[in-house]
A = this chain, B = another copy of it.
Amino acid sequence: MVVQGKNIIGFSLSAASDEFVTSFDPKDARPMEKFYMATNEEIEETLQKASEAFGVYKHFSGNRRADFLEAIADEILALDNVLVQTAVKESGLPEARIIGERGRTVGQLRLFAQLLREGSWVDATIETAQPDREPLPKPDIRKMLVPVGPVVVFAASNFPLAFSTAGGDTASALAAGNPVIVKAHMSHLGTNELVARAIAEAAKNTGMPDGVFSSLNGRGSSLGQKLVMHPVVKSVGFTGSYTGGMALYKAAAQREEPIPVFAEMGSVNPVILLPGKLKNSAKETAKQYAGSITLGVGQFCTNPGLLLGIAGEDLNTFLEELAKEIRNIAPATMLNEGIWKSYQSGKAKVLEQNGVTLLGAATEQEGNHLGTAAIALVSGEDFLSNPSLHEEVFGPFSLVVRCTDKEQLLEVIQSAKGQLTSTIMAEPDELKGHHDIVEAASKIAGRVLFNGVPTGVEVCHAMQHGGPFPSSTDSRFTSVGTDAIKRFVRPLAIQGFPEEALPDALKNSNPLGIWRKVNGELTRDAING
């Protein structure tokens, strides 16, 4: 398959504009292909198609939608090396990482397919009638989750596959029964087109309606805003910067009909180093964290940007070892020029703050957009008094906060804004004496880890990727794992309908064999009519 630079509008390729955006190779610092920007007419056509497709697609059974998702996975794998090399070129990420990410993307699609085939995710809840109840008869009421309507997905810079065109947002929105419109990310326009065409192909081959999926090229500030403001659109998925996420969130709240924007905006993911852990394994922990801080050139939402410990010999040992490890990390190409520039300026800004000292940095090398790892140190007092030290520096940089004692450590944790993750590095028997620390770490985060690294977000039923604001706009939902589907549905109750008019999930006979809550009890049994 050859990249054509076009918009994918349902089953059609479209190129009506005379304006272009251009893909870019961050490693060689050179522009590559031209991509047609979506015109207003194309945007309108896309949304009309999505609206019509919704009327059809939402009635498709779980099995039919699962066929579609699995076909997308197959089509993505069929793109083979073309996709891998395009993504490598556009993102600067190594081939092994892209192949791993493709595996994750395909795995996500198949996991949602599995969820659909099993079927219980619709939360079917049934209360049967009690016509003889006093003082008033009880009606028959049945409730299940139904799709909300067309969803706009903003592809993310840092996961050209797994959080982009066919990533978790798209997979969960399609699984829920909604058409999806992807706004291609400027950092991987070619990758986007290849995957979008794979999705369109899968849709055609599995009998999905034209318009169940589209992908448009353009700038966030124009195309992105237009999509979010359009009345056909009912929900938005976004992974990216705080500025970008909040611009969409605020725009959506100003609509005549406000809609939710699920923006995952990253965080500093504090890591709390308790004394016992440092005493027993300062060096091993330093090695483990040097790896996590610099993984993928630090370009993960769950990158540990803040390490908190109590002053003492063991912390010094940890810091020495961490600095040593960091110095040996080879610089690598960052995702795009904007991210690289922000990293340079963000790191420089932290390093010039009062009381901040550089602990260790990797050696600079010749090359384009290289992210060079670094670790800095600051006292608890200086950290607490300086809000600019609480901001995320996206890239392979972490700030260590050296606290005077446990009380200051607690204060530092409590001062943190909402986080995707927090981590407690401790000996198991230390947890008992640190209830307040565990409590504080839980209050600020969506996921709390014990003796692990926050990078490497497992795609599973139990994952929570979304924490208190500002790490995400809505901590009640996750953007990773099967529960991500809950963002794009609403409960619909139907009352007094005859059996033959009920959807399968709510029929007495339970033809889908799913788990349901019937008169308060979970069961897979049929109801005796």
Contact = CB atoms under 8 A, between A and B. Distances in A.
A122 to B, nearest CB: 13
Given A469-B258, A515-B522, A496 B462 contact: no
B492 A483 contact: no
B258 A495 contact: no
A493 B257 contact: no
Interface residues of A, number: 71
Nearest to A436: B55
Chain B CB within 10 A, most for which of A439, A448, A470, A497? A497
Contact of A517 (B139, B418, B461, B494): B461
Contact of A143 (B462, B469, B489, B493): B462
Nearest to A501: B431
Contacts of A445: 492
B461 A125 contact: yes
A526 to B, nearest CB: 17
Given A125-B461, A493-B464, A520-B461, A501 B258 contact: no
Contact of A451 (B136, B146, B460, B496): B496
B438 A501 contact: yes
Contact of A473 (B258, B431, B448, B473): B258
Contact of A446 (B478, B491, B498): B491
A133 to B, nearest CB: 10
Contacts of A131: none
Copies of this protein in the assembly total: 2
Contacts of A494: 442, 447-450
B470 A257 contact: yes
Contact of A463 (B143, B451, B498): B143
A311 interface: no
A138 interface: yes
A47 B500 CA distance: 52
A170 interface: no
7 contacts: A55-B439, A146-B442, A257-B470, A442-B494, A449-B495, A461-B517, A461-B519
By Cβ-Cβ distance, the 9 closest A-B pairs, closest first, are A464-B493, A447-B493, A141-B462, A127-B462, A449-B495, A450-B496, A475-B490, A143-B462, A125-B462
Interface of A: 55, 100, 118, 120, 125-127, 135-136, 138-139, 141-143, 146, 148, 249-250, 253, 257-258, 260, 418, 428, 431-432, 438-439, 442, 445-452, 456, 458, 460-464, 468-470, 473-476, 478, 483, 486, 489-498, 500-501, 515, 517, 519-520, 522
Given A125-B483, A449-B495, A449-B496, 14 more contacts: A120-B522, A139-B452, A143-B464, A146-B442, A257-B470, A446-B493, A448-B492, A448-B495, A449-B494, A450-B494, A461-B517, A464-B492, A475-B490, A476-B486
